[in-house]
A = this chain, B = another copy of it.
Amino acid sequence: MISVSAEMEETIKRISGRKGVKGVLVMNHAGQTIRTSMDPELTKQYALQYSPLVKQTQTTVSTLDEENDLTFLRIRTKKHEVMIAPSKLWVSGGVEDKCMGRHGLTKSILHA
């Protein structure tokens, strides 16, 4: 298992324990799972689907303006909300029920 800082372990634990949070997933840019609070199958599916989507979004942003960069991606669906914070090293994401207060989770993910 790839090591992560104690601070990130703590953040993942805190976020995944929040009411309404269905899962937290940290991947590297190759889509490999670094940490997850979801079951293996769901983790595999989310990584498989969201890793290329994050890449395409980053490409979309930089194609329109080379000096611009994706900092946060929020995908609201009928059933829940997925929040993704790409950074140089990781891509951290959280899945939350729609009715929960999102801002808290957004802040947490941004500082994962």
In the complex the two chains form, what is the Cα distance from A88 to B65 in whole Å? 29
Instruction: Report the minimal beta-carbon distance from A3 to chain B, rounded to whole angstroms.
Output: 29
Q: How many residues of A contact B (CB 8 A)?
A: 26
CB-CB < 8 A to A87: which residues of B?
Answer: none
Contact of B78 with A68 in the complex, beta carbons under 8 Å: yes
Copies in the complex: 2
Known A-B contacts A53-B56, A56-B53, A56-B56; A61 and B74 likewise in contact (beta carbons under 8 Å): no
In the complex the two chains form, what is the Cα distance from A57 to B53 in whole Å? 7
Instruction: Report the minimal beta-carbon distance from A4 to chain B, rounded to whole angstroms.
Output: 24
Interface residues of A (CB under 8 A from B): 45-46, 49-50, 52-53, 56-57, 60-61, 63-65, 67-79
